[in-house]
Chain A
Amino acid sequence: MKNLLLAASGLALLAGAAAAQDAAAPKIGILLGFTGPLESIMPNMATAAEIAIAEVNAAGGILGQQVASERADSTCVDSAAATAAAEGLVNGGVNAIMGADCSGVTGAVLANVAVPNGIGMISPSATSPGLSTAEDNGLFFRTAPSDSRQGEILAQVLTERGTTDVALTYTNNDYGKGLSDSFTQAFQAQGGTVSITVPHEDGKADYSAEVGSLAASGSDVLLVAGYTDQGGRGIVQNALDTGAFETFVFPDGMVGQDIVDALGDGLSSSFGTLPGSDSPGATRFQEIAAAQDLDGTSVYTGESYDAAALMMLAMAAAGSTAGADWTAQVEAIANAPGEQILPGELGRALELIAAGTDIDYVGATAVEMIGGGDSAGNFREVEFGTGSIETVRFR
């Protein structure tokens, strides 16, 4: 037993020494919920980030070295598991984290791992408004816009369609509550009324009570800030069955082919918004993704590519992999002025940085940082046809 302990601690020491040696080598941790409620979209997001890394490596890497990467599982819902996974990444020599995915675990990893270790993080999909004001020492950025932006956009879409009165239900977590609050605020400012606000818990047995209350409000339109495979779908199904509502408004969490398949033409008068852009970068990214057998329209893939690309360009510009150094460069890289950089041009961007020219990273999603680590965001307005999702316009 004693020998075993000695051997184990010896190994640990060796591993620690090895990690310390590699500390300067650029290595990106890809921390996404490969298991959990959003496990269906995560592999695509990870692949998109890896495409950006491969592109930089093909152009000779940064700081004279190839960029390594490692995947870890954030679970999306379990903060303790996500923190442990992030610690594993840091111990493995990672010096930037592309992630996490869901807002709750992202906040936990930021507070428990990134800030104490001085590691920079760029999340492609955490959208809770709370993260804008989180204590982050400037280490945290995101390429997906905060839900307060989406709340404003949704309010605009409804007002332009002539709806002044909606019932609202949200999934009772950071995402749902944040989106509900920002939407209500924006909608009321534009003269609209939210007749009733009903939170719902995911994975519960029965949603009759929620739908009954929502129907009693007398509104004709129901906004559902939930998830396609959770309580959100249960509510919509129940509301359609009882004839309570026929028109639904869906934010990003509810826009997915699976809900169209499940509910069919019940959604034919519904519409929604999700992050997306019609910039030339979006098409360029879809071509690059298609060449790698990846569906570039899958949700948050462009944001993931951009998150990884921004990290590496910022490291190159800072000439360092230390969190405090490269995160200071992110806004300068992402925003004008400078030479515009689209997906597939990371090699040219590195040359420009080496030559001391200013660049403006546009990327797949027209990234624009607006302070507090937030991205301005671009939104796609969609309508649900019979069995399909059609893009109506970009905002």
Chain B
Amino acid sequence: MDLLNALVTFLNFVFIPAAAYGAQLALGALGATLVYGILRFSNFAHGETMAFGTAATILLTFGLQALGVTFGPLPTALLALPLGIAATALLVLGTDRAVYRFYRVKRAAPVIYVVASLGVMFIMSAITRFLVGVEDIQFTDGARFVINARDFRDWSGLEEGLALRSTQLITLVVAALAVAALFWFLNRTRTGKSMRAFSDNEDLALLSGINPDRVVAVTWIIVAALTTTAGVLYGLDKSFKAFTYFQLLLPIFAAAVVGGLGNPLGAIAGGFVIAFSEVMVTYAWKQVVAYAVPGDWVPAGLLQLMTTEYKFAVSFAILIIVLLFKPTGLFKGQSV
């Protein structure tokens, strides 16, 4: 019985939160890694693209709610998501036409793209703030919990509760679906194959008759879909605040680099590595250990490897270790 309590505590405070956070990071990192692999630059505006996509979806969700449309136990935002993706796709395609295409034609160095994307970031962040403001916005509706901590305690007779929010479950399911669809697209369809060819060797791809404008446009549309989905899932799970999305940029890039920039599989692995290490290294293991060992072995201390202030140091330490020993990331990506 005590081992069960230990397991439930671990699931409730470590596994479920870290898995949901990891899935959000993985989706974000997938978008960043696609831009890096195919368009060949680190997109600083990535967090703000997520914020814009979420803002657009929020406005559409409020519109749907005002019309009385809901999605049963699921959040209405999922209904609004496709339209939000379309709005974001228009924005990034417009940005590409107005900014990045100019540098692509000139074959500019990657660092110039990066600085240009920094400028795009400022403009996008301003657009988002004009659109929905700077306040904290909650836009989740429908059932809040799949498993409620108190109900679980009553049902199982255990001392510890287990909570699974519907948004956490939705995040994991939608992330899995999105990743499966992306891999099917990249590996099985003609357009996906041409994108991979373009990523491997641009000149060779051009020689074999691949239309670069089409590859770029499709990439941006996929990136818009991934970022908007990641942003909306994150916003549903926590809440929407424009400033927080800007701060998401760091863990997302850490995830993409740890996994191997340009490698989609690596981005997913990286997202989970960052999320789990942030939570597990700073978790106080006292409670779990107290349930798992006989009574008189229970430690007096908190069994915390590092206090939570160092949460971000953990992701960066992992980033540095990976770059020192495997400069191309855990999965073979492009070296930075």
Contacts and interface: CB of A to CB of B under 8 A. Distances in A.
A290 to B, nearest CB: 27
A203 B241 contact: yes
Contacts of A208: 13-14, 17-18, 21, 279
| 5 nearest A-B residue pairs (beta carbon) | A243-B149, A208-B17, A243-B161, A216-B284, A212-B13
B149 A205 contact: no
B285 interface: yes
Contacts of B187: none
Interface in A258-297: 262
Interface stretch (B61-69, B94-102, B170-178, B306-314): B306-314
Contacts of B243: 203
Nearest to A195: B302
A238 B148 CA distance: 13
A90 B283 CA distance: 50
Contacts of A325: none
B282 A204 contact: no
A172 interface: yes
Interface residues of A, number: 30
Interface stretch (B33-41, B194-202, B208-216, B244-252): B244-252
Contacts of B14: 208, 212
B12 A243 contact: yes
Given A213-B308, A216-B283, A205 B17 contact: no
A112 B14 CA distance: 46
Interface of B: 12-14, 17-18, 21, 135-136, 138, 145, 148-150, 152-153, 161, 163, 165, 234, 238-239, 241, 243-244, 247-248, 251, 275, 278-279, 282-288, 302, 304, 307-309, 311
A347 interface: no
A241 interface: yes
A55 interface: no
A112 B311 CA distance: 34
Nearest to A39: B134
A215 B13 CA distance: 8
Contacts of B13: 208, 211-212, 215-216, 242, 244
Contacts of B247: 203-205
A233 B138 CA distance: 12
B282 A242 contact: no
Contacts of A234: 238-239
A209 B163 contact: no
Contacts of B309: 172, 199, 201
B314 to A, nearest CB: 9
Interface in A175-214: 196, 198-201, 203-206, 208-213
A213 B288 CA distance: 11
A196 B150 CA distance: 24
Interface in A158-183: 172
A213 B278 CA distance: 12
Nearest to A208: B17
Given A206-B238, A211-B13, A243-B163, A217 B150 contact: no
Contact of A242 (B161, B251, B279): B161
Given A209-B282, A234-B238, A243-B153, 7 more contacts: A172-B309, A203-B241, A208-B279, A210-B308, A213-B304, A216-B302, A241-B149
A35 to B, nearest CB: 9
Contacts of A213: 282-284, 302, 304, 307-308
Contacts of B21: 205-206, 208
A206 B145 CA distance: 18
A218 B165 contact: no
B311 A209 contact: yes
A197 B194 CA distance: 54
B283 A203 contact: no
Contact of A217 (B244, B248, B275, B284): B284
A206 B17 contact: yes
A241 B248 CA distance: 22
Contacts of A200: 308
A229 interface: yes
A210 B285 CA distance: 13
A243 B275 CA distance: 21
A206 B14 CA distance: 12
A212 B284 contact: yes
A192 to B, nearest CB: 18
B301 to A, nearest CB: 11
Given A200-B308, A205-B234, A243-B163, A216 B17 contact: no
B161 A229 contact: no
Contacts of A217: 284, 286, 302
A216 B234 contact: no
A243 B9 CA distance: 11
A242 B244 contact: no
A164 to B, nearest CB: 18
B302 A196 contact: yes
Contacts of A243: 12, 148-150, 152-153, 161, 163
Contacts of A209: 278-279, 282-283, 308, 311
